Amino acid sequence: MTSVVVTHINQHDPQHRESPTRITLALGQKGIHVKRFRDIVTQIMRDHFPDGFLARAPSYRTKKGHPALLTSYGPNDQLSIDGHDKLIDIGFAIYGMRDKFSRKWMSLRAVPNNRSNSITRWLFLELVHDMKGEEGIPLQVTSDHGTEVLDIFSDQSTLRELAQPQLNILMEDLGVLAAPEPHRFLPSTKNITVERGWRPLVDKFHSKFIVSTQNAILTGDYVPGNNQHRIIYLYLFAPLVQKELEDYVHLTNCSIIRKQPHTNLPSGKSPNTIYHCEGTNCLLPLDEVGMNQVRTWMDEITISHPRLLSFIEEDEEQWASQLFEHCAFLDITLGFTVNLSNAWMVFRSMAEHIDEVPYL
């Protein structure tokens, strides 16, 4: 059991940011369940990673909270959206969408550019198209004043008009005379729902990649100005960053929000539970006309930007894939699966054998 816990932490939490509860939950999702498991995990972490407990202690740093008291009718009342730039220096931008009422992450993606209207628009339309249970739009979208949300503003406004009958019914159910505007622009510091979600992401996620990448640059293993190095790096790490984001979203949405007596929003339950079981669901269902419009917009974007979310071009990806397979056959210890624990070893091997596979 000790080796399982230690291996998991070394692969997924090298900076020791996660609590025993989060580690226990992550292992449980892998099918690892033992009686009094959290106590066992806690003791293993104290024995092998004692520094993490000190860093997570409330007295370790002063936390500044937002003074605002949030209110909401229910799930899909407001969808708070924003981009995050903490990983841009190492090649990755992030764009997130979070439900205000439940604090559930609806979407969190690593993208080549979070200031691109086409990318942010695609992510919004993808969320509308793939909304679980029922396709539709939130009652309102909130964002800062960035130009990257102009297409989202337009699409949300158009779709709200198409959903006018459903909107009238919802307003009557809520006892509200006038519907809120489809898209509300706020100062970045007031777009609190998504802004509050970035701090835990910084603490528990970014250091996994920022620290290791900075170390690789300092040692000369990775030269960002070398185009072949850049291709190998993005080929290996873009999928890892997205996988870690997906794992983070899953864990966060399943983790219980501590009981907060001085809040108007539900607490003491997980975002998933709150989203599905609390409040009035304000999702505005779209009929076939509305969904056809969404699909038409998505098709237009796909035709104009066939590799919209790709970090490297198609020929670059083909070359990197051939180089990776070449290195895996030369050194069987590398294996054919890349994860956080072996990614830089694989990178160094590929960099050493660059000349053995014709470049583009």
What residue ranges do the domains of the chain occupy?
2-60, 78-207+257-304, 314-356
Q: Which pLDDT score is estimated for 163?
A: 96
**End-to-end C-alpha distance for the chain, whole angstroms:** 46
Cβ-proximal residues to 320 (8 Å cutoff; 6+ apart), any chain = 231, 232, 235, 312, 350
Partners of residue 143 on adjacent β-strands: 185
User: Does pLDDT of 53 surpass 90?
Assistant: no
Provide the pLDDT confidence category of residue 78 given band limits of 50, 70 and 90.
very high
Among candidate residues 302, 340, 246, the one with its CA nearest the CA of residue 126 = 302
Structure token pair of residue 313: 């071009």
Predicted TM-score (pTM) of the model is 0.81
- CA-to-CA distance for 175 and 181, rounded, in angstroms? 16
User: Does pLDDT of 126 surpass 70?
Assistant: yes
Give the architecture-level CATH label for domain 78-207+257-304. Answer: 2-Layer Sandwich (3.30)
Give mean pLDDT, residues 26-49. Answer: 73
User: Does pLDDT of 35 surpass 90?
Assistant: no
- CA-to-CA distance for 1 and 81, rounded, in angstroms? 40
Q: Residues 348, 218: contact at Cβ < 8 Å?
A: no
Provide the pLDDT confidence category of residue 355 given band limits of 50, 70 and 90.
very high
136-145, 219-228, 256-265: the lowest-pLDDT one: 256-265
Q: Which pLDDT score is estimated for 249?
A: 94
Token pair 């899909």 in the structure block, residue: 76
129 vs 263, residue with greater confidence = 129
45-49, 95-99, 116-120, 324-328: the lowest-pLDDT one: 45-49
